[in-house]
Structure 1
């Protein structure tokens, strides 16, 4: 009876330590003191959440190596375990911490190999308390994320007009809006919400968030279906320095996401930087335009900045019917001639213009003799009733080919 009373008393101590402090560190410290052994709490990636009683100093968020072996007497409730890094090697047991049937944490105890009934009961009670704490924290986090998402949605769609409101919400959520910010939009190409593994979006979100945290940037993220949008703070320095910092981050995210989706499936668009947070809806719209144009113009080895898109971003907002009519009026006759005569003069003209009208370079790229290319260009001039030496003609033709690529004509 005395043993049962002692056990209940110690369980109560554990419960009170969590109730009093609402912090897992105090709970792990208390169970460590009661059992007189080292204790380490790790997440499923074996990253340290908190620890107690170790003489070897560890770093929170440090990733350790955890090796688990089934403990035959308590299958799935307890494991023999080894925990190590370059300077640490511990042997003991490990308890899985479950939440809704899934393992979310591991609670490791050093130098405990044959736990008594009392030790086992205390450890499992501690795991249950951690699980309950997680449920409460998750509920709070979900509610907070809903509030954050609602505010960000309004901010990015231009519904927040008062800078004072932005400052108030920024203080509530711990977001600093005093710096310039750029909106970056990430999107999964050809996203099918119902067929794609639901964890894919979460994995990409985790990469985006982790890369921000590693740069000591507080994540400001809005996630909706296939699109993840972030506010990226930039220093008010020269334009090239801003772009270099943004490009480095975006490339790192793409590199990390290559193990989750194909490298060409994750699309990115980057808007302008703005100091006033109430202007960030403009950056958001620009980032979406940059993402779409980057996809259309085949930005494979770079990330599209709205400020670098030049003519295509102007054409983007022109009515599609007007663009189609301009295209037809400019090179429609040449396209028709190719279709009727099984020729490839349209491609010849585009390659010539892309080579800045350098006859030799264009001939080499087309695998033609210079005289053959000259003949073709004369034929093109005749069909289009224009002179290719004219600057106005060159501009019109280049614009027409841009429209062709953008609108996939």
Structure 2
């Protein structure tokens, strides 16, 4: 049994946090491969090391003196080293960084040094082997992640190393220069390492005890989700629930490796287990609720639309021509409604209307702005009768007008459209009926 453990920036922000992480890793012999992030904020007024590196490199690019800023970064690491009482010096590493900044090694190189240096400290602290991600994680000529080459090289490398620290967030280009992942970098690295070592579990340690049924900013003390499938997570993430970036999920999903989201500051909490599929019955009918504000509904009406071959394609071409992506598209016999992001649509609304007239010749085009979309997601909905009815009932009791409802054939999710002003109250009403009262 092999576990890969990834720790976020808040988990590694100070020597005190490092000590917690060390205790967690040493408490389970199966935790053999560690993926660290760069040090995050120690408090609300603090600055993340990655942001400090970006600012420092900006000075270097402008050929201004960056030494003071670089020494501040070194002080952050020295405080961790001294707090852990390690016999380790990063003097030579910082000299190398300074030289590379002067040579304009690139913003990706600068940003990656946060994880790189934290990896060196973590390996020294644990007594694990340090593996530089630039030597085992690769991007191709176009800047895309080279999954096949990475998996081959990384698997061969780690096969010979029983315990290792592999920094998150970066890899290398074909010319050897450093390249970072665009989003969720360390999460992606953890997933790649898990696939390479055929891990039994990928533990993603952060500052929350897993995923919650609803946004805690809207639902205070929202209940945790114990088990969630990849499909459910995808639906919730798409509608704004920030758990893991989908690029971080793909490698482990493909390999059938479960992910456990855990809390560094509450390691005994169960966390959330993310799996391909499960026969475990969900605690509630729904697994989670997520949503976003700021949509426009473009309603396109035309008599006998249903008998006109290609009508939908012509209508959608109007949006494509103007570079506007579509979120949802509920339809009736003589009408179709297209939901788009308001911020994206507002500057191009007249061009879209003109294109719709030219391409589809509709009878009426109607716009409604300031709408929100809410996704109610749950594998348990399939086996429960009247889920949509309960949602409508909850919203009616809360005096909320439903603008749209769209249910996929998989019965995994129901999308509801309401006005922006009703967004928070709608989530509260749905949460209450399914989780609090369970009517």
Greater RCO, 1 or 2 (C-alpha within 8 Å, sep 6+): 2
Asked if Structure 1 and Structure 2 have the same fold, meaning a TM-score greater than 0.5 normalized by the shorter chain, the answer is no
Q: Which has the larger Rg?
A: 1
Structure-2-length-normalised TM-score:
0.21
Higher helix share: 1
